[in-house]
A and B are shown apart, each in its own frame.
Chain A
Amino acid sequence: MSIFIEHLTHLYSPGSPLQVKALDDITLQIEAGEFLAIIGQSGSGKSTLVQHFNGLLKPSSGNIYLEGQNITVKGVNLRLIRQRVGMIFQYPEQQLFEETVFDDVAFGPRNLGITEEDVEKRVQNALALVGLDKQKVGSRSPFQLSGGQMRRVAIAGVLAMQPDYLILDEPTANLDPQGRDEILFLLDKLNKEQKVTIILVSHSMEEVARFAERIVVVHEGKVLTVGTLAEVFAEESQLEKVGLALPPITKLMKELNRAGKKVETAVFTPKQATSELLKIIKEKRVRGKKDV
């Protein structure tokens, strides 16, 4: 029980002829330390939803509790909340502005009012986490770096605030396979080693399937379904209704099931499929030998 969203409704332009109900009575619980994925089509409300977790948006009605504290009431220290709940927007490299990489990563920690010594340590750690060498890039202008490097600098800028919860909106957008893998492995590392709660907003089922434990499916401002990977992926028709498709590997396992082969369908990557299939094949061979 760490972020609790209670009957959250959010209206854009309330009271005007352009009013839009972006979120419709959402109740959701996010456990500390989990790796959660929020999926849905463009316009489903998933970005609007996560912007409530760190107080960037206020509910039109409903409450948000961060570890028991209601963050939607007046007088709440939003700065503190934003340190604990970090957010990385889509294409975060677009927010870089400082003259050096070091200063840009230091922007967040400096806003926390800690000593410059501490700031330096945090920047060093953050850059190391994203695979950048402070000696090499620290004094360079962020705008001289490659696109992939710029993104890592932007991510380091949020990691340097040492949040307990990390929300990421499509962090691998427009990255090549290698870049994408690096980011996902980083998230997994943060989650497993440093117990950071990861909230990953994504369109990509394959990506989500690699590390997420639980999935929330958002559609037209409502939560369509919540559950473990296996539970959510079992509902193929629901996902299709929402404009999302199962990873091809999962579809394959389901087809095999339909052809009468008893394989586990909660399988999402080629590696997982290989293990599962080999297991079944071995069992069949053993059975075959026994019969003889």
Chain B
Amino acid sequence: MFRNIIIGQYIPRDSKIHQLDPRTKLLSVFFLLIATFVISNPLGYLLLTVFSLCLVGTAQIPTKIFLQSLKPIFWFIVFTMGFHFFLTEGKELVHLGPLVMTEEGVKRGIAMGWRLLLLIVFSSLLTLTTSPLSLTDGLETLFNPWKRFGVPVHEMAMMITIALRFIPTLLEEAEKILKAQTARGMDFSQGSLWRRVKALLPLLVPLFIGAFRRADDLAVAMEARCYRGGVGRTRMKDLQMTGIDLWGLVFVLLVLLAIIEINRLGVWSI
């Protein structure tokens, strides 16, 4: 049942975006996030929106899948917009019972909602086009300099990699334990909240104990395979920045600069 979950929603394709070094994508998302929060007039919004659509197109991700990844956040955006619509002081537009929608509220609500949408689009682009392993590699390499401050960068990256590797396995095991306990008459659906929480014990205790056993076995196996931490360790998939990475970063920085410039020109601040 759980075997076919696509972790982190990574969809393998052969697009230019997929081929980018994960560091490029991580840095780009960082800059684009800044841009998203800095925009303050419609021209800026337009520019970023067009840019994001171009990226989505280049990434070759089917629209259907993209919309699916936006689904979870949809209601959050609606709620945020409503919040701004009705709770901002200003020129009254519409009355909905005790609630008053204002012009300022509408402007702000739309702006906020749009920003959230852009945020989600850029982040999704990252996770849809980059495998979890690449992401971890990219993060590890980017944060490498922090090692001299005592931050265990390699260890954290290794933890994330192993955790990702075992998620499907643990899900399968959880399913099996759930079935076994159900076969012994366990019932989640009845009783008080406390009773239902207690009912989680027959599921969680074996899972945790199983996970610790796995960790033990895995540690021994890693040692047997000469693992001794990050010192002196190489990577088969060595990250290399190429031409498209540099161009990509330049492009993103240009977009950011354009946004800042447009802000300065001060058309229609919101």
- Interface residues in chain A, defined as those with a beta carbon under 8 Å from any beta carbon in chain B: 12-13, 18, 51, 54, 56, 79, 82-83, 86-87, 89, 92, 94-97, 107-108, 111-112, 143, 157-158, 161
| Cβ-neighbour of B184 out of A12, A51, A82 (below 8 A) | A82
| B-chain residues with CB within 8 Å of residue A56 when the two chains form the complex | 179, 182-183
| B-chain residues with CB within 8 Å of residue A86 when the two chains form the complex | 183
Instruction: Name 12 interchain pairs, CB-CB below 8 A, sorted by A.
Output: A13-B1, A82-B184, A89-B180, A89-B183, A95-B177, A97-B201, A108-B184, A108-B185, A112-B185, A158-B183, A161-B184, A161-B185
| A-chain residues with CB within 8 Å of residue B201 when the two chains form the complex | 97
In the bound assembly, the distance between CA atoms of A158 and B186 in angstroms comes to 12
Known: A51-B179, A94-B177. A158 touches B184 (CB 8 A): yes
Q: Is B210 on the interface with A (CB-CB < 8 A)?
A: yes
Q: Max chain B CB contacts within 10 Å: which of A56, A94, A107, A157?
A: A94
| A-chain residues with CB within 8 Å of residue B173 when the two chains form the complex | 94
In the bound assembly, the distance between CA atoms of A12 and B2 in angstroms comes to 10
A66–chain B nearest beta-carbon distance, Å: 14
Q: Is B96 on the interface with A (CB-CB < 8 A)?
A: no
Q: Which residue of A lies closest to B179 (CB)?
A: A56
Q: Is B4 on the interface with A (CB-CB < 8 A)?
A: yes
Residues B184 and A157 in contact, CB atoms below 8 Å apart? yes
A88–chain B nearest beta-carbon distance, Å: 8
In the bound assembly, the distance between CA atoms of A56 and B1 in angstroms comes to 13
- The secondary structure that dominates the B interface is helix
A222–chain B nearest beta-carbon distance, Å: 21
Q: Which residue of A lies closest to B181 (CB)?
A: A95
Q: Which residue of B lies closest to A160 (CB)?
A: B184
Residues A97 and B184 in contact, CB atoms below 8 Å apart? no
Known: A13-B4, A94-B173, A143-B209. A107 touches B183 (CB 8 A): no
Q: Is B12 on the interface with A (CB-CB < 8 A)?
A: no
Residues B185 and A83 in contact, CB atoms below 8 Å apart? yes
Contact residues, B203-230 vs A (CB, 8 A) = 205-206, 209-210
B252–chain A nearest beta-carbon distance, Å: 34
| Cβ-neighbour of A95 out of B1, B180, B185 (below 8 A) | B180
| A-chain residues with CB within 8 Å of residue B181 when the two chains form the complex | 95, 107
